[in-house]
Chain A
Amino acid sequence: MERKTKVHAEAGKQELFITREFDLPLELLFKGYVEPEIVEQWMGTKVLKLENKKHGSWQFETADAQGNVVLRSNGVIHEFVPNQKITRTFEMEHTPFPVQLEFLEFEKLTDDTSKLTMHIVYKSGAFRDQMLKLPFAQGINMAHNRLQTILDKLK
């Protein structure tokens, strides 16, 4: 299958770009970012707050299978232009990671296709690289947790 999502992270820089082309009209793609119940489905998180307006704020909460909250994230929306762009900050609560700045640009390609460009700016190049490694680290943790669950059942 073609890799639709591309990540461009140049060495030594404190930013990265995520691009993705969707088989969706621009308006539908944007709606996926605006409606809290839709965001919950594709981000796999609970939306506590999502104020889609300039100077609005947002807060998400992610729980594990047992309902324990594993991650809470929040930020402020600096710019909100429907079907064009969202500029916001992103911060993971109770982690050593500093806040990051995200520029989301939505573009119409054709009547049925659209493109999203996420430009993320980190406090430093080192923090960016640590964030890149995070899903990998989480994957290992999840595997460990599953193992723990299986082991607990054997007791």
Chain B
Amino acid sequence: MNLRRDVFQAIADPTRRAILLLVAAQSMTAGAIASNFDTARPTVSKHLQILTECELLSQEQNGREIYYHFNPQKMKEIADFIEPFRNMWDDRFNKLETIMKNYKPKQ
């Protein structure tokens, strides 16, 4: 299994991104997470399974309930992957902006 690709697959879905935002704020049970969506409960369960397999979420048994926790380290891995590319363009565009701002008076 290509784990890295799966992590990207995981965050490509808008419902899964919404789930990550929810759980990032507070650890929650599957029922509590599902109550935030109009989507059918099994669909939410499937999303939770994918997010757990990608290690973006982890499960923890608390009494009779299973709580889902957010894994910020895994999320950081995704950001780290795109960040150098984004930085490269950001640097270029910052230069472009500075150069063109100074260009104004010459017009």
Contacts and interface: CB of A to CB of B under 8 A. Distances in A.
Contact of A11 (B12, B84, B97, B103): B12
Contacts of A38: 96, 99-100, 103
A98 B100 CA distance: 32
A66 B91 CA distance: 22
Contacts of B12: 10-13
A23 B101 contact: yes
Interface string A41-84: 11110000000000000000000000000000000000000000
Interface stretch (B3-11, B21-29, B40-48): B3-11
Contacts of A20: 89-90, 93
Interface in B63-100: 81-82, 84-90, 92-97, 99-100
B90 A135 contact: no
Query: Chain A, interface size: which category?
Result: 20 to 34
Given A12-B5, A32-B100, A7 B86 contact: yes
A144 to B, nearest CB: 16
Nearest to A12: B9
Given A18-B89, A24-B100, A9 B95 contact: no
A44 B94 CA distance: 12
A9 B99 contact: no
A133 interface: yes
A18 to B, nearest CB: 6
Interface string A97-124: 0000000000000000000100000000
Contacts of B104: 28
B103 A31 contact: yes
Contacts of A22: 93, 96-97, 100
Interface of B: 5, 7-12, 81-82, 84-90, 92-97, 99-101, 103-104
Given A29-B96, A42-B99, 5 more contacts: A5-B93, A6-B86, A9-B82, A12-B5, A28-B100
25 contacts: A3-B86, A3-B90, A5-B90, A6-B86, A7-B85, A7-B86, A9-B8, A10-B8, A11-B5, A11-B11, A18-B89, A22-B96, A23-B97, A23-B101, A24-B97, A38-B100, A38-B103, A41-B95, A42-B93, A42-B95, A131-B85, A132-B81, A132-B82, A135-B85, A135-B88
Which 5 residue pairs are nearest across A and B when measured between Cβ atoms? A11-B8, A5-B90, A11-B12, A42-B95, A42-B96
